[in-house]
Structure 1
């Protein structure tokens, strides 16, 4: 009992303390400057006290209580605190930028990011305690709905990252499509290569050594080497240019990203092939099943969860590595990230980085669900 009380008090103090000690926003005359740090009272005003109360009740109950009712109240309190924090930040940004030149920016600071992240993480956590099966998705949908409601109401329009988004909406949409095409193309290419390598039974040791060795090569160095190799190839055989081959662009990016995806796919496939025990394989052979029938009817079904685990790792890795495609002219969300770095514009970096994080989390969640479903359907 004493331990729960201590945990509850600690949980209740975390977010309010962060909001008070850390700046919530930076106000700058333009997008290139860091600007002046602004504390919570100056941004939130009268919203500070109800926000602090909700931000204490939610995490406090979540840390100090195990009951379903307490978890439901904690999730609702954290959701309310999250929405109130975003609304307060939007209102404060509008107040600080009112009457200022168009170049003025109200940029979120450490307190806002950390506080919002903790509250957002607590909502599905509390919801899962109420309903382990559907609580997590319901909590995530509730968070998305709160952000969407504030967005449609125009409460977030004055925030710097939103201003940047509205100025580059079309560019962001094109970069997002390029990023997905690059990541999925690299994943498909790596899957084809992995399947072909699996047919080379005598060379498995060499394949293991090669795909593992590729992981220690820095991505930028590998991309640079591929560009150099492609340039040399095109110099020796200029006719290849008529087929669309170029030293820069999509081709070297696809090959470079696919090279890093070989290891998780290869290990996932090998683990799937080894999933059946020796007795099951002997029984299948005694029944007269061919190697192909054993593969499709025994090895792959029993090893589906292991194979999907490798695909999950490779998919998340592909979405992250596709950011580097911008370095060789392949486009994608990395274009916004590197443009922001070149211009010292943090919000432009976030405009490219946040979708990558969201895509990676979505891929992880979706493929984890498939992996769990395969494990339930085909228990090893």
Structure 2
């Protein structure tokens, strides 16, 4: 068996394992535990459509990818229908939640679609991604998922979720911008004076060993003391709790990967190319602009990808210091033992991180001249 076929077989086993585990849970309300149903019990014969995902690849790549995507769409639709059926005759407060088996099966099935889509050319992968989004949008518009507890929770907090998403993006963007303002000049200084690079790297690295929650919490009294000394800073919107500690702490963690990538990019230029440019009469500024920066961009993009994903994840802790964002939903759900509320915050965070990683990775490949 080839490695690719073995990998698909393992993913298919993941789908089947998910179907054998709790797929849906029916509870009297959003807080109490419910009765679990396996995927085979919840969606019945429709679960056999998962077998479509395991059809041997003796068909064109596009047909295999389309078949896999159709199988996933059927599983999602069947789950929504099963949730609606399971709530018939129950009190309005009853909830049909998604169990661990569903998430295991969904991740494995999505990975199967991605594995089969990997054999397609770039345009084919784009078409597959658009088809997946369209299928999901059609199922959503048709109300297929309306009975699921997660969707009910979202409908009840739709405006708050949207506001938290925008707030999360704003916090991550502000932290990334602040980290760039710190890392780029320090990297340039380290490039011009190599002796200082070690001290700068050690200073930025020291931040990494501090637990994130501890750093977020430590900034609150530090900022309170600073505001007591300089009350005018409050007019700039700076506060001891809220966005300020979240942005500052996150920026502190992002500075090191950004500094390393910028410094590494500047020093990555081929000495022969630099010597040739100098022989052509270019000044040091011209060499940096025409030679070093173009060669540094792929390296910088790699560091930027790490920093962007870190920013999206780390500002989640801003919910603990009053900064808001999706982290506030996660911690509110934890305080109420409400799984669906936690997922309302956690799922968008994961989706944002994956999308950001894919976009910056595509930029990195483009700058690096790879396919």
Q: Does the alignment pair 1:169 with 2:169?
A: no
> 1:59-70 counterparts in 2 under 5 A?
59-61=54-56, 65=57, 69-70=59-60
State the Cα distance separating 1:162 from its structure 2 match.
0.6
Q: Does the alignment pair 1:119 with 2:112?
A: no
2-side partners of 1:373 and 1:243: how far apart? 40
Larger displacement relative to structure 2 (300-309 or 6-15): 6-15
Counterpart selection for 1:57 from 31, 44, 52 = 52
* Equivalence for 2:138: 149
Q: Does the alignment pair 1:27 with 2:26?
A: yes
Q: Point out where structure 2 has 5 or more consecutive residues left out of the alignment.
A: none
Counterpart selection for 2:88 from 81, 89, 98 = 98
Counterparts in 2 of 1:128 and 1:366: CA distance versus 1, 3 Å = same
Counterpart selection for 1:88 from 58, 62, 78 = 78
Say whether the 8 Å CA contact 1:43–1:89 is kept in structure 2: yes
* Equivalence for 2:174: 185
> 1:242-253 counterparts in 2 under 5 A?
242-253=235-246
State the Cα distance separating 1:278 from its structure 2 match.
1.2
Say whether the 8 Å CA contact 2:312–2:352 is kept in structure 1: yes
Q: Does the alignment pair 1:110 with 2:100?
A: yes
* Equivalence for 2:344: 351
Deviations 1:145-165 (A, max 9, x none): 221111111111000111111
* Equivalence for 2:38: 39
Deviations 1:169-208 (A, max 9, x none): 0001110111000001110110011122134334211111
2-side partners of 1:160 and 1:294: how far apart? 59
Counterpart selection for 1:159 from 136, 143, 148 = 148
Question: Is the partner of 1:24 in helix, strand or coil?
Answer: strand
2-side partners of 1:244 and 1:132: how far apart? 49
State the Cα distance separating 1:79 from its structure 2 match.
1.3
State the Cα distance separating 1:270 from its structure 2 match.
1.0
Counterparts in 2 of 1:106 and 1:132: CA distance versus 1, 3 Å = same
1-side partners of 2:178 and 2:93: how far apart? 44
State the Cα distance separating 1:11 from its structure 2 match.
5.0
Q: Point out where structure 1 has 5 or more consecutive residues left out of the alignment.
A: none
Question: Is the partner of 1:304 in helix, strand or coil?
Answer: helix
Say whether the 8 Å CA contact 2:23–2:100 is kept in structure 1: yes
* Equivalence for 1:298: 291
State the Cα distance separating 1:288 from its structure 2 match.
2.0
RMSD of the TM alignment (CA)? 2.2
Larger displacement relative to structure 2 (301-310 or 12-21): 12-21
Counterparts in 2 of 1:302 and 1:146: CA distance versus 1, 3 Å = same
* Equivalence for 1:76: 66
1-side partners of 2:38 and 2:173: how far apart? 43
Counterparts in 2 of 1:156 and 1:271: CA distance versus 1, 3 Å = same
TM-score when scaled to structure 2?
0.93
Aligned length: 367
Question: Is the partner of 2:115 in helix, strand or coil?
Answer: helix
2-side partners of 1:6 and 1:140: how far apart? 22
Question: Is the partner of 2:22 in helix, strand or coil?
Answer: coil
Say whether the 8 Å CA contact 2:15–2:104 is kept in structure 1: no
1-side partners of 2:323 and 2:4: how far apart? 54
2-side partners of 1:9 and 1:361: how far apart? 21
Counterparts in 2 of 1:233 and 1:276: CA distance versus 1, 3 Å = same
* Equivalence for 2:311: 318
State the Cα distance separating 1:14 from its structure 2 match.
1.2
Counterparts in 2 of 1:9 and 1:346: CA distance versus 1, 3 Å = closer
